[in-house]
Amino acid sequence: MPSLQKIMYVEDEPDIQTIASIALENIGGFSVKTCSCGADALVQAPDFAPDLILLDVMMPDMDGPTTLQELRKIDSLISTPVVFITAKAQIHEIAQYKSQSGVLDVITKPFDPITLSDTIRTIWENYHANV
Amino acid sequence: MQMSDKEFLEQIEALKQSYAAHLPEKMKQLNSLEKILETDLANFEVLNELYQLAHKLAGSSASFGFASLSEKAYELEMFIKPIVKKNETLDKNSYEEYKSLLNNLKKSFFE
């Protein structure tokens, strides 16, 4: 199973960005790069080369699914695993997000920052156990 | 370098306090949007702004320890969402429920 070290988190809300990155770095021991919008992610992702991208669904200008489409146009990010983060969603919406290639799962907001790292690690392990 | 558990918990606590300190601003935003809708019920931009604000509160506040606020914000968000998605605005029929959900949300700031 590939190791999970570098996580890019694309999220427009600064409060959530801060608490999540502190939790992911300090509980999960991950190296985290946060981006405030899809356009920022498109610029930063090739250099950061994340193992996993956490992508907020509802963002102004470019939403999460559109950002994913654009990220997939970059050769080095064509198959980088993605986890969508969204407000409580309906089952059909979650199924729609998960049907996209390379999308491992969907995490719903609000999340508990203390358990976020474990949730992500479990998603990662389950995905790779089934590949 | 990772911080100690104590430092980490202190930082989380500080973030929660900082979030709490900004809640009065969110309440002011709610009040000002509510005021505009009182006199201009068919204002789509303001309703959309209220929808965005409810969405943000629903998604973030429980992560900072405000579970009830998150729930009430979610109820308001889900009420407004189909209206905004259809590019419609509030009307006399939807006004009462909107008002009741908004009042519940405002009360939850003090819970």
Enumerate the domain spans of chain B: 23-108
Q: Give, in words, the CATH class of B23-108.
A: mainly alpha
A73 lies within 8 A of chain B by CB: no
CB B58 to CB A29 under 8 A? no
CATH assignment of the domain containing A102: 3.40.50.2300
Identify which of B72, B63, B108, B27 has the alpha carbon closest to the alpha carbon of residue A20. Answer: B63
Contact between B15 and A111 using a beta-carbon 8 Å cutoff: no
pLDDT in tens, B40-98: 999 999 999 999 999 999 999 999 989 999 999 999 999 999 999 999 999 989 999 99
Q: Which of A45, A114, A109 is nearest to A82 (CA)?
A: A45
What tens digit of pLDDT does each residue of A36-84 get?
999 999 999 999 999 999 999 989 889 999 999 999 999 999 999 999 9
Contact A105, A37 (CB under 8 A): no
Instruction: Name the band, by pLDDT with cuts 50, 70 and 90, for residue B4.
Output: confident
**What's the confidence (pLDDT) of residue B2?**
60
**Residue A1 falls inside a structural domain:** no
pLDDT at A60: 86
pLDDT-above-70 percentage for chain B? 97
Residue of B nearest to A108 (CA): B59
In chain A, how many domains are there? 1
Using CB atoms, pick whichever of A25, A110, A112 lies closest to residue B59. A110
Per-residue pLDDT at B6: 83
Residues of B in contact with A111 (CB under 8 A): 63
Range of the domain at A100: 6-130
Q: Between chains, do A87 and B61 touch, taking CB under 8 Å as contact?
A: no
Of A23, A25, A110, the CB nearest to B62: A110
DSSP states of A8-44 as a string? EEE-S-HHHHHHHHHHHHHTS--EEEEESSHHHHHHH
